[in-house]
Amino acid sequence: MEQYIIKGGVRLHGEVSIGGAKNAALGILAAAIMTDETVTIENVPNVRDIRVLLQAIEGIGAKVKYVYNNSVQINGGAICDINVDYEYIKKIRASYYLLGALLGKYKESQVTLPGGCNIGSRPIDQHIKGFKALGAEVDISHGMIHTKAERLVGGHIYFDVVSVGATINLMLASCMAEGDTILENAAKEPHIVDVANFLNAMGANIKGAGTDVIRIKGVNRLHGTTYSIIPDQIEAGTFMFAAAATKGDITVKDVIPKHLESLSAKLSEIGCQVIEGDDCVRVIGSEELKCTNVKTLPYPGFPTDMQPQMSVVLALAKGSSMVTESIFENRFKYVDELNRMGSSIKVEGNTAYIEGVEKFTGAQLAAPDLRAGAALVLAALAAEGISEIEDIEYIQRGYEDFDGKLRKLGAVIERVDSEKEAQKFKLKIG
């Protein structure tokens, strides 16, 4: 199994280009099958979750072609199956977007119940409530969800919780329904806007994405287009926090600084210097980080996907901090690993109480999930000595060439897939 070997203590510096947003790409690739014409999507991150979704899209008969590394052409004209029943698809949460996309296009869909990161119970009741409001029957049996509608008719849906997944899924299902749909208490994340913009580029009529009320007028057909995905807010944030953790100086390039404001604000608050350009943000770490409190919230609040990285940085700040997780219930699984590196963190309920320490020391670690895994890499980069991180396939689900990009910033990190390779690298770095 692959692992990262990291020698910490280097201040990362330089520039790093940020790829397309994984969570936008998952919605957009699913949406692309809703037309029979060819769609070209650019800035698609080459990460595991995306490859799995593309495999499933091919599995139901659509044509998928990598034009070059980050551009994909999809043609949904040859889809011959509405049944997405593959063992591997369970591994990604966003498989459920095929449920909305196929229901919207063919008025029927069947998809294996989604998996994804184990960060707490992740119900899909809001998706189901939405599909039913459009006139679909929804049935769950044998680990599959089946939706079917004689006629799919626009409806008025008030979401009980703000859900990224349910908002995207209902935009997909309703954009080809008869009549008008209103989604209230919708999620406002940048990738919601990106999926809506993409659907509109295919001929859909969606207004209000980015606010909490989205209005959709159903259209009969969607057509081909070429579209470029927005930059990944969380990949950018992870590198910004790497600057803070290693007291480095990193410029994240090809980003939309507005999407990073909640992160920039927290970094400034703890003493880092944050300089915004038109499409870049430079973070200069502070010699002495200050403590603060953070609570995760739906956009434009502080993102739950940056919570572990924030805790790593606060664990190295002077004084006591509190990190409260309000979106997912089981998102502190990295804390035990971090405490083994010398941090002082106690979790009670949905809050982590952090007493800052002067340094971490390298240790043998295992990535518990995607973002927590990335956070442990930041901790290892800041730590004294060598760390070994196992289960990095979680990290590869969402970060393209993570180790390569870190190496260009000066990090001493290697991805190895045998004990022999690990020994060889450890010998080299001493």
Residues found near ligand UD1 in the complex (CB under 6 A) = 23, 26, 93-94, 122-127, 161, 163-166, 187, 304-305, 327-328
| CA separation for the pair 292, 301 (Å, rounded) | 15
Output the 3-class SS for 341-386.
Answer: CCCEEEEECCEEEEECCCCCECCEEECCCHHHHHHHHHHHHHCECE
Closest CA to 402 of 3, 9, 116: 3
Q: Of 104 and 342, which has the nearer Cβ to ligand UD1?
A: 104
State in angstroms the smallest separation of the CB of 173 from ligand UD1.
Answer: 14
Closest CA to 23 of 75, 96, 83: 96
Q: Of 163 and 181, which has the nearer Cβ to ligand UD1?
A: 163
State in angstroms the smallest separation of the CB of 155 from ligand UD1.
Answer: 16
Report residue 337: phi and psi, to 5°. Answer: -65, -45
Structure tokens at 205: 């009529």
Structure tokens at 233: 């807010």
Question: Which residues partner with 284 through β-bridges?
Answer: 249, 273
Q: Of 305 and 400, which has the nearer Cβ to ligand UD1?
A: 305
Q: Of 328 and 334, which has the nearer Cβ to ligand UD1?
A: 328
State in angstroms the smallest separation of the CB of 297 from ligand UD1.
Answer: 9
CB 23, CB 190: distance < 8 Å = no
Q: Of 13 and 122, which has the nearer Cβ to ligand UD1?
A: 122
Structure tokens at 173: 């299902």
Cis amide linkage into residue 300, ω under 30° from 0: yes
Annotated active-site residue 117? The verdict is yes
Taking the CA atoms of 36, 64, 374 and 21 in sequence, report the sign of the dihedral they define.
negative
Active-site pick, 80, 117, 272, 280: 117
Q: Of 82 and 164, which has the nearer Cβ to ligand UD1?
A: 164
State in angstroms the smallest separation of the CB of 304 from ligand UD1.
Answer: 5
State in angstroms the smallest separation of the CB of 29 from ligand UD1.
Answer: 11
Q: Do strands 280-284 and 249-253 pair parallel, antiparallel, or not at all (unpaired)?
A: antiparallel
State in angstroms the smallest separation of the CB of 121 from ligand UD1.
Answer: 7
| CA separation for the pair 371, 116 (Å, rounded) | 12
Residue nearest to ligand UD1 (CB): 165
Structure tokens at 162: 């703000």
Active-site residues, by number, are 117
